[in-house]
Amino acid sequence: MADSILIIGGGLAGTEAAWQAAEAGIHVQLFEMRPRQATPAHETDRLAELVCSNSLGSNLVNKAPGLLKAELRGLGSLILTCAQATAVPAGSSLSVDRQSFAEAVTNHIESHPNIELIREEVTAVPNTPAIIASGPLTSAALTGELQKLSGQDYLYFYDAVSPIVAVETIDMTIAFRQSRYDEGEQSDGDYINCPMTEAEYDRFCAALVAAETISLKQFEREDPKFFEGCMPVEVLAKRGRKALAFGPMRPVGLIDPRSGKRPYAVVQLRQDNLAGSLYNMVGFQTNLKWGQQKQVLRLIPGLANAEFLRYGMLHRNTYINAPRLLHPSLQYRNRADLLFAGQITGVEGYMGNAGTGLVAGINAARLLKGENPVIFPTNTMLGALCHYVSHAGPRDFQPMKANFGLFPPPPGKTGKSDRYWWYTERALTAMRRFAREYGLNYDRVAAEEGLNRHNAA
């Protein structure tokens, strides 16, 4: 039927997209292959099953995850509603009872009159209006079809991501900007370099080797391709004292301006976002526990007080090269009625997945009603995420979670706390005006609760 859409994937993004489209009066066919077709990570047949942490991040509205929640709360997110209803004590963070949360989402989806839940695997890209939200463990059959659709060069199977640092927290009295030999495509100053003496290098490697790692899942241990091309730095360090110095930490072509000499070793950081506020650690994929990463990585000269906006991780992941393939509306560039949502677009974090599902669901409904899709403002967290995955550099595109580094800095110099509140106030004001302009359902009171408490104080 003309007012029907097919959604592939019953995770956070797929269920959120289904709910938003159904609430707009669209008939939804939501396909989830479990339990008929199992995945290596899921344990139940419940929708929106959380396979990693049970934490959805900070609830504080002046934190990036909290701001994203505030925006989604105002827009009527199903995932956030169910999370709040099944929350467990977690201080200022939102954590849930996994089973209760998944059951709540499943019950909402199964009871909605406009949603038809179909427990079957989809093995081909639909030629009717559709949203693909199949997640990082997309089945082999559908993965093959996505390769045909986008071209194999545009479908990625990355097992590793490197830590990302807020550039303003790097000590530039120690670190310096320089590219190796100042040659090639890199212009002078494209990289930030953290130099090490031999003693500093030995201390760092010792801590790296001694640190605790995350236990790999069975399917990751058995997958012969798991470490292919993404050797964790701690594994490399165990191969020999100089393995890192001759690998990702090689200092060739670099001169430390403080000494006028080549460092013994160096950690390079490369710009990661358009605003230049985020830098990733080149070649520093790691499987260390996050608390261990925080301690060990701060032994690197220049990063003693660094703010890590994303820690390194290793996991099986499937995502498209969204900057080449998607509009910020999450529509496929070559097919307006095909949208993508969730981790397959290159967003990270539970609420980021749900947020892109919300955007795809809203836009799918608008398209089927003959309305133009909406592009959320880039000064909102939801809009900034959609802008990142559709505008980042396609050559080195890697997944991203909600963080304030996606925003351009405010005018003038402000402290971190004031800056974060400025971002928050601007984002919620922009979202309120945007929702009013495009006729979106928006609960201002729910969205701005945390902001109002701050202003009252």
- Tell me: pLDDT of 184 over 50: no
> Which is more confidently placed, 344 or 150?
344
- What pLDDT was estimated at residue 315? 61
The whole-number average pLDDT for the span 303-317 is: 83
> Do 35 and 132 belong together in one domain?
yes
> Do 184 and 222 belong together in one domain?
yes
- Tell me: pLDDT of 250 over 60: yes
> Do 166 and 154 belong together in one domain?
no
Cis ω before 394 (30° cut-off from 0)? no
Residue where one domain finishes, among candidates 279, 314, 349 = 314
The whole-number average pLDDT for the span 306-321 is: 82
- Tell me: pLDDT of 452 over 60: yes
- Tell me: pLDDT of 157 over 80: no
> Do 267 and 152 belong together in one domain?
no
> Do 166 and 142 belong together in one domain?
no
Structural contact between residues 53 and 336, judged by C-beta atoms closer than 8 angstroms: no
Residue where one domain finishes, among candidates 260, 280, 314 = 314
> Do 409 and 444 belong together in one domain?
yes
- Tell me: pLDDT of 223 over 50: no
* Stretch among 56-70, 234-248, 311-325, 402-416 having the lowest mean pLDDT: 311-325
- What pLDDT was estimated at residue 188? 53
The whole-number average pLDDT for the span 345-354 is: 93
> Do 336 and 310 belong together in one domain?
no
> Do 37 and 124 belong together in one domain?
yes
Residue where one domain finishes, among candidates 297, 314, 331 = 314
CATH of the domain at 168: 2.40.30.260
- What pLDDT was estimated at residue 90? 72
pLDDT category at 39 given cuts 50, 70, 90 is: low
- Highest mean predicted confidence (pLDDT) among 39-48, 183-192, 214-223, 425-434: 425-434
Query: Mean pLDDT for the chain?
Result: 87
Q: The sheet that has 4-8: what strands, in order across it?
A: 115-118, 27-31, 4-8, 130-132, 335-340, 331-332
- What pLDDT was estimated at residue 225? 43
Which residue in the block uniquely carries the two structure tokens 């800056």? 419
Give the domain range for residue 169: 161-314
The whole-number average pLDDT for the span 353-358 is: 98
- What pLDDT was estimated at residue 313? 74
- What pLDDT was estimated at residue 447? 93
pLDDT category at 40 given cuts 50, 70, 90 is: low
- Looking at the 3D structure of the chain, how many domains does it have? 2
- Tell me: pLDDT of 336 over 90: yes
∠ CA 332-337-343, rounded to 5°: 45
pLDDT category at 221 given cuts 50, 70, 90 is: very low
- What pLDDT was estimated at residue 158? 53
> Do 337 and 407 belong together in one domain?
yes
Percent of the chain's residues with pLDDT above 70: 88
- Highest mean predicted confidence (pLDDT) among 210-224, 269-283, 340-354: 340-354
CATH of the domain at 91: 3.50.50.60
Can you give the three-state secondary structure of the chain, one letter per residue?
A: CCCEEEEECCCHHHHHHHHHHHHCCCEEEEECCCCCCCCCCCCCCCCCCCCCCCEEEECCCCCHHHHHHHHHHHCCCHHHHHHHHCEECCCCEEEECHHHHHHHHHHHHHHCCCEEEECCCCCCCCCCCEEECCCCCCCHHHHHHHHHHHCHHHEECCCEECCEEEHHHCCCCCCEECCHHHCCCCCCCCEEEEEECHHHHHHHHHHHHHCCECCCCHHHHHCCCCCCCCCCHHHHHCCCCCCCCCCCCCCCCCCECCCCECCCEEEEEEECCCCCCEEEECCCCCCECHHHHHHHHCCCCCCCCCCEEECCEECCCCEECHHHHECCCCEECCEEEEEECHHHHCECCHHHHHHHHHHHHHHHHHHHCCCCCCCCCCCCHHHHHHHHHHHCCHHHCCCECCCHHHCCCCCCCCCHHHHHHHHHHHHHHHHHHHHHHHCCCCCHHHHCHHHHHHHHC
| Cα(79)–Cα(56) distance, integer angstroms | 10
> Do 309 and 377 belong together in one domain?
no
> Do 171 and 261 belong together in one domain?
yes
> Does the model's pTM come out above 0.85?
no
- The predicted-structure confidence for 366-381, as pLDDT tens digits, reads as follows 999 999 999 999 999 9
| Cα(289)–Cα(296) distance, integer angstroms | 10
- The predicted-structure confidence for 84-108, as pLDDT tens digits, reads as follows 999 887 778 898 888 899 999 999 9
- Tell me: pLDDT of 143 over 90: no
> Which is more confidently placed, 313 or 116?
116
> Do 123 and 75 belong together in one domain?
yes
